[in-house]
A and B are shown apart, each in its own frame.
Chain A
Amino acid sequence: MAVTYAGNEAHFGGIVGVEDAEALLAWLYEHPQATLDLADCTHIHAADLQVLMAAALTVAEWPHDAALAVWLKSALSRG
C-alpha cells in the first residue's frame, strides 16, 4: 500500500497509483482536517492529484523529489 493512514495524517510513499484514489477520497471525506506527509512520494497518479487538489488540505512534508515537489506545490498550495 503506497498510502498509509495514521490518525489524522496520510503518509504517501513511493508511487501512488490510480487504484488508491477512491480510498483516499473516502478517507479525506472522513478526515477534513487531515495533514499530508508526501516526503517519500515519487509520483502520484493524476486521479490522486485531483482528489488532493479538491480536498485542499495541509501539507506537512513536501516530497524530497524536487520535480514532484514543484508540481505539487503549484497544484496544492493554492488549494
Chain B
Amino acid sequence: MTPILQQFMTESRDFLQSIGENLLKLEKAPQDADLMSDLFRSVHTLKGNSGLFDFPEMSRVLHAAEDLMSVVRDGQLSFDRRLADRLLEAMDFVSLLLDELQGGASSSAEHAQASVRLAASLRELIVVPDATQQGSAEAASGHGGTAKPGVPLDRVPDALRASWGEAARAGAALHWIVYTPASDCFFKGEDPFHQVRQTPGIVWQSASAVESWPPLAELDPYHCVLRFDLVTAAPRTALDEHYRYVPEQVAIVPLTLEALNPEHRAAAPADGVAAVRATTVGSASQATPAGGVAASCVDAILAAQIVALGLPDAVAWLPGRLKAIAATLAACHRSRGQEDVLPALDAALALALASSSSQPLKEWLAAEGNSSPIASISPAPEAASTTGGDVPFGRRSDDALPATAVLKVDQEKVDRLMNLIGEMVVAKNGLPFLAARAETVYDVRELSREIKTQYAVINRIAEEMQDAIMQVRMMPVSSVFQRFPRLVRDISRKLGKEVLLTLEGEETEADKNIIEALAEPLIHIVRNSLDHGIETPEARRAAGKAVEGRLVIRASQDSGRVLIDISDDGKGIDPAVIKRKAYEKGIIDEAALERIGDQEAINLVFAAGFSTADTVSDLSGRGVGMDVVRNAVERVNGSVALTSDVGKGTRLRLSLPLSMAVTNVMVIESNKQIFGVPMDMVLETVRIPRSAIRSIKNRQTIVLRNRVLPLRSLNELLADDLPQVSNELDEMATLVVQIHGESLGIVVDDFREVVDIILKPLGGILNALPGYSGSALLGDGSVLMVLNPKELVTWQ
C-alpha cells in the first residue's frame, strides 16, 4: 500500500466519521445551514480524493451523494429521514470498500452493481429538475440508465440455445450480457465496440440498435444508439471487473437451465431486471441440475408453510403447528447454508408462541424473503424495483466494526501512560531493595531469591512497555521540517536572496519532546543562515558561485541519536572577524585574542551576547544569538557543533537523543546527600590523592595524564562551605565531566551506582532553580536531585 493510499484511507475514515455525525445532527436540526455545508464539503472532498485512485465504485456512490447534498444545500430539497437513511447507507458502502481495501483487496469490481443501485437510489431523491446537475442528467441520458432491456433469447437459434443448455447442465455458468452504451459515450472517449470485443469468454454475440435505424441523412454518427448482446462463459467476477466503469449501462444475466429450456421458457423471467434480481441474490447453484431440483423442492416446501401460516390461529393446536412450521423453515434454511438467519427465526417463533399468533412468523418469512430467493414464491412479493426504492445495501452499522489501523489519541493520554510506566519502572526498582531486606533483615534467603526471579520478569515486561510507549511517542522530523519551505521562501524574498532549500531524511523519527524542542532552534539557525550565511546574488556572482544559494537541512539517525545537519554554501564564518567582535564586546580579553585557534573562535558565536550582524535586521540579530540555540538544544541533552570554511559555507550539526524519557545517571554523594549526574556528561571517574592537588592562583588543579585539569568541589558549586570528604587513603573522588568541549574535575565525597531514572523537570517555583535538570524517584522511595553541571559551573 502506497503512503498516499494509506493517507487516503485514514482521511476517508475521518471524513466518514464526521459525515455520519453530521447526518445524525442534521436529523435533529434539518435547517442548520452550517452543518449542511460542512457535510457537503466532507462528501465533496471525499469524492475528490477517491477520484485520485482507481475506485470507480466509491466515486460513483459519492458523486451521487454529492449531487443530492448539493440540491439539499441549495434549499431545493428538504433534508429528511429518508434522505439521511440513504446517505448513511451510502457511507456504509464506502466504509465497506475501505475495509476491503485495507484488507488487501485490489479492486472492488464485485461491488459495481451495488454501487450503481446505491447511486440510483440517491439520485432518485433529486426530484428538482435542474440542468446544472450534470451527474443526474448523465444518469438519465444513457439508454440503459434506468430501464434495463430484457434478454431476447428468441433471437438465438434453437440449436445454439440447446447447446448452451447442454453446457449449463454440465456445470458451465453462462452469462448473457446486454450492453447499451450511453448515447454520449463517444464524447467521453469510450469505444463500446472495443469494450465488448475484449469481453472474456465470448460464445455468441450480436450488435443491434436500440431504436430502428434512421435514414442516413438523419443519422448522427456521434450519438450512440448501439446495443450489444453477448453470451460469455467467463466467470461473473471477471465480467464485473471488465465492465466496472460502465455498470449502469450493462445488464449481466446468468443463463439458467429454466431460461434455456424451451419448455420452461414461459416460466423464465421475461424481464432482464427480474432475472438479475432473482439470480444476483445468490442462487448461482440453480444453474446446476442438482441445485435446481433442490431449490424447487425447497420452494415448494416454503410455499406450503406460507399456506399453513395463513390458516386461522384460533385452534388449540396452534403452538404445535407454529413449532412444526418453524422447524421446517429452519431445516430449509439450513439446507441452503443460511444458518445465520436461524437465531432470528427462533426469536420470531418465541414471539409467535407468546402471542398465540402466526403473525411474527409470517413477518419473519416476508422479511427473510426480501433478501433471499424465497421472495419469488412469497404471496406478498416486495414491490421495490432494483434501481430505486429503499433497497438496503445490506450492511448494518453494527455489522462489522471497521478495523481501524490508525488511532488518533490525545497527546495527554499518551503522556499519562508514559508517566504511569515511569512510576511502574520506579516501583519495579523497589523490588531489589525488598530482596536485599528479606535476606539481610529477615534472613530468608529463599524468599529473597524468589523476589529476584519475579523482579526479572517484571523488569522485562516494564522494559517492553517502555519501549512500546516510546514507539508511540515517536514523531518524524518532517513535522518540524514542513514549515521551512515557506519560511525560507519568505525570508529570502525579504532579503532579496535566491535560495534553494533541500530537505533530506524527513522520515527520521525521534521522541515528541525532542522534535518539539527542535523547532525553535532550527528556525533560528535557518534564519541565521539566510541572513548571515548566504550572500546576495550579486556578491555570489562576484565570488564565482551559482546565483542561487543552497541550504540543506538533513536529518539522520546515528546510534541512538538524531543528527540534524544544516549546511549552506554561503560566505562562511571568518574567525578573524569573530575574534575581533568578541574582543570588542568584551567576551574575550586581549590574551585570548592572540591565543585561541580558528575553531575556538568560531565557537565564540555561541557565547551569550554575541551577534555578528553588522546591522540589526528584523530577521535575526535581535539580541538573540546562537547561545539561545545552544541552550535550547542542551536542555534536551543535545549538543551543537559548528564548522565553517570561509567563502565556502557553514555547517551546523545538532545531535539529539532519540528519547529523553529514561536517563542514565550516576549517583554521587556529597555532604551526606545524594545527587545524580547524567552519564553522558561523565567522561571518567578518578580518585586523586589530596597531595596531587595544586593551587594555581585561587583555583585547584591537578595534572591528570599530562594534562592540567581544573578542579571544582561540588560543595563549593552548591554554595556549601564544607570541604569535600576524602576516603581512608586520603583520596578525593573526582568526576571528570565535559562542559562545552572542555574537561573539568568535580570533586565529590563518594561515587555510588549508575541507575536508570525517569527524569521529571522541576515544577513550580523550583523550576526557576538553575543547576538542576530535574528530579527522580529512586527504588527505595527517596528523591534524587539530578544536577546539571553545565549550568552549575557557568552559573557561578
A interface list, Cβ under 8 A from B: 18, 21-22, 24-25, 28-29, 32, 43-51, 53-56, 67-68, 70-71, 74-75, 78
Distance, CA A22 to CA B222, complexed state (A): 8
- C-beta contact mask, B200-228 vs A, less than 8 Å → 1, else 0? 00000111110001101101011011100
Least Cβ–Cβ distance between A29 and chain B, in angstroms: 5
Contacts A/B (CB < 8 Å), 19 sampled: A22-B221, A25-B219, A25-B221, A43-B193, A46-B190, A46-B191, A46-B192, A46-B193, A46-B194, A47-B222, A49-B193, A50-B209, A53-B209, A53-B226, A54-B209, A54-B214, A54-B216, A68-B197, A75-B206
Whether B393 sits at the interface, judged by CB under 8 Å, is no
Distance of A1 from chain B, by nearest CB (Å): 17
Nearest residue (CB) in B for A21 is B221
Given contacts A53-B213, A54-B216, A74-B207, contact A44 B221 (CB under 8 A): no
Q: In angstroms, how far is the closest chain B Cβ from the Cβ of A9?
A: 18
Additional A-B contacts beyond A18-B186, A46-B190, A50-B224 (20; CB < 8 A) = A18-B222, A25-B216, A43-B197, A44-B193, A46-B191, A46-B194, A47-B224, A49-B207, A50-B226, A51-B221, A53-B208, A54-B219, A55-B216, A56-B213, A67-B197, A68-B197, A71-B193, A74-B205, A74-B206, A74-B207
Which chain B residues lie closer than 8 Å to A74 at the CB level?
205-207
Q: What is the CB-to-nearest-CB distance from B197 to chain A, in angstroms, rounded to a whole number?
A: 6
Distance from A15 Cβ to chain B, minimum over Cβ atoms (Å): 9
The answer on a CB contact under 8 Å between B191 and A45 is: yes
Residues of A within 8 A of B207 (CB): 49, 53, 71, 74-75
Nearest-neighbour CB distance to chain B for A30, whole angstroms, equals: 10
**Cα of A20 to Cα of B678 in the assembled complex, Å:** 82
Q: Is the CB of B216 within 8 A of A28?
A: yes
Residues in chain A near residue B217, CB distance under 8 A? 29
Minimal Cβ-Cβ distance residue in A for B192? A46
Given A21-B221, A71-B197; A46-B181 close (CB under 8 Å): yes
Question: Does the CB pair B186–A47 fall under 8 Å?
Answer: yes
Per the bound structure, the CA–CA distance linking A8 and B710 in Å amounts to 111
Q: How many residues of B are in contact with the other chain, CB < 8 A? A: 25
Find the B residue at minimum CB distance from A15.
B194
Q: Which of A46, A49, A55, A56 has the most CB of B within 10 A?
A: A46
Flag if B226 contacts A49 (CB, 8 Å).
yes
- Alpha-carbon separation in the docked complex, A64 to B608 (Å): 89
Interface pairs A-B: 4 shortest CB-CB:
A46-B193, A75-B207, A21-B221, A54-B213
Q: In angstroms, how far is the closest chain B Cβ from the Cβ of A22?
A: 6
Grouping DSSP codes into helix (H, G, I), strand (E, B) and loop, the A interface class, with mixed when no group exceeds half, is: helix
Main secondary structure of the interface of B (DSSP, over half): mixed
Which residues of chain A come closer than 8 Å to B206, judged between CB atoms? 74-75
Contact of A45 among B193, B205, B208, B219 (CB under 8 A): B193
CB of A14 to closest CB in B, whole Å: 14
**Distance (whole angstroms) from the CB of B315 to the closest CB of chain A:** 63
Tell me, rounded to whole Å, the shortest Cβ–Cβ distance linking B177 to chain A: 14
Other-chain contact of A50, B190, B194, B205, B225 (Cβ < 8 Å): B225
Q: How far is the CA of A45 from the CA of B222 in the complex (A)?
A: 11
Closest residue of chain A to B206, judged by CB?
A74
Residues of A within 8 A of B214 (CB): 54
Q: Which of A32, A45, A48 has the most CB of B within 10 A?
A: A45
When chains A and B are docked, how far (Å) is the Cα of A70 from the Cα of B222? 24
What is the distance, in angstroms, from B451's C-beta to the closest C-beta of chain A? 82
Which chain B positions have C-beta within 8 A of A44? 193
Q: Which B-chain residue is minimally distant from A29 (CB atoms)?
A: B216
Query: Complex formed: what's the CA distance from A20 to B192 in Å?
Result: 16
The docked-state distance in angstroms from the alpha carbon of A51 to that of B209 is: 11
From residue B206, how far is it (CB to closest CB) to chain A in Å? 5
> Which residues of chain A have C-beta atoms less than 8 A from B209's C-beta?
50, 53-54
Task: Compute how far the CA of A75 lies from the CA of B225 in the bound complex, rounded to whole angstroms.
Answer: 13
Rounded to whole Å, the gap between the CB of A44 and the closest CB of chain B is 7
In the assembled complex, the CB of B216 is this many whole angstroms from the nearest CB of chain A, namely: 5
Across the interface, which residues of B come within 8 angstroms of A18, CB to CB? 186, 191, 222
Closest to A23 in B: B221
Report chain B residues within 8 Å CB of A56.
Answer: 213
A47 cross-chain contacts in B, Cβ below 8 A = 186, 221-222, 224
Enumerate chain A residues within 8 angstroms of B225, measured Cβ to Cβ: 50
Q: Which residue of the partner chain A has the closest CB to B219?
A: A54
The one of A50, A70, A75, A78 in contact with B221, judged by C-beta atoms closer than 8 angstroms, is A50
**A75 closest partner in B (C-beta):** B207
- Give the chain A neighbours of B221 by CB distance below 8 A: 21-22, 24-25, 47-48, 50-51
Known: A29-B216, A50-B209, A71-B207. A45 touches B194 (CB 8 A): yes
**CA of A22 to CA of B196, assembled, Å:** 22
Q: Give complex CA distance A32, B226 in Å.
A: 21
Contact A21 B222, beta carbon cutoff 8 Å: yes
A55 to B186, CA, bound (A): 19
For A46, the closest partner residue in chain B by CB is B193
Note all chain A residues with C-beta closer than 8 A to B222: 18, 21-22, 47
Measured CA separation A48–B190 after assembly (Å): 13
Chain A residues within an 8 Å CB radius of B193:
43-46, 49, 71
A32 to B, closest residue via Cβ: B216
A47 to B226, alpha carbons, bound, how many Å? 9
Please, how many angstroms separate the alpha-carbon atoms of A78 and B224 in the complex? 19
In the complex, A49 Cα to B191 Cα: how many Å?
A: 10
- Alpha-carbon separation in the docked complex, A47 to B188 (Å): 13
A8 to chain B, nearest CB (A): 16
> Which residues of A have CB within 8 Å of B196?
71
Task: Give the nearest-CB partner of B226 in chain A.
Answer: A50
Q: What CA separation (Å) do A74 and B213 show in the bound complex? A: 16
Query: Among B193, B194, B225, which residue has the most Cβ atoms of chain A within 10 A?
Result: B193
- Contact partners of A75 in chain B: CB under 8 A: 206-208
User: What residue of chain A has the Cβ atom nearest to residue B204's Cβ?
Assistant: A74
* B668-700 vs A, Cβ < 8 Å mask (1 yes, 0 no): 000000000000000000000000000000000
What residues of chain B lie closer than 8 Å to A43, measured between beta carbons? 193-194, 197
Q: Is the CB of A46 within 8 A of B226?
A: yes
| Docked pose: A48 CA to B207 CA in angstroms | 13
Give Cα A27 to B590, complex, Å: 102
CA distance A68 to B194 in the complex (A): 10
Tell me which residues across on chain A come within 8 A of B213, comparing CB atoms: 53-54, 56
Q: With both chains docked as a complex, state the minimum distance between the C-beta of B599 and any C-beta of chain A, in angstroms.
A: 72
Task: Give the docked Cα–Cα distance between A56 and B209 (Å).
Answer: 12
Task: Give the chain B neighbours of A49 by CB distance below 8 A.
Answer: 193, 207, 226
- Among B165-211, those with CB < 8 Å from A are 181, 185-186, 190-194, 196-197, 205-209
- The answer to whether A46 and B219 have CB atoms under 8 Å apart is no
Q: What residues of chain B lie closer than 8 Å to A29, measured between beta carbons?
A: 216-217
0 or 1 for each of B214-251: is its CB under 8 Å from A? (1 = yes)? 10110101101110000000000000000000000000
Contacts of A32 in B (CB 8 A): 216
In the complex, what residue of chain A is closest to B213 when comparing beta carbons?
A54
- Residues of chain A contacted by B192 (CB below 8 angstroms): 46
Query: Which of A18, A22, A78 gathers the greatest number of chain B CB atoms within 10 Å?
Result: A18
Q: Which residues of A contact B197 (CB under 8 A)?
A: 43, 67-68, 71
Q: How far is the CA of A5 from the CA of B682 in the complex (A)?
A: 95
CA distance A53 to B190 in the complex (A): 19
| B-side contacts of A51, CB under 8 Å | 219, 221
Please give the distance in Å from A5's CB to the nearest CB on chain B.
Answer: 16
Query: A35 CB to closest chain B CB, in angstroms?
Result: 16
- In the docked arrangement, what's the CA distance between A18 and B208, Å? 18
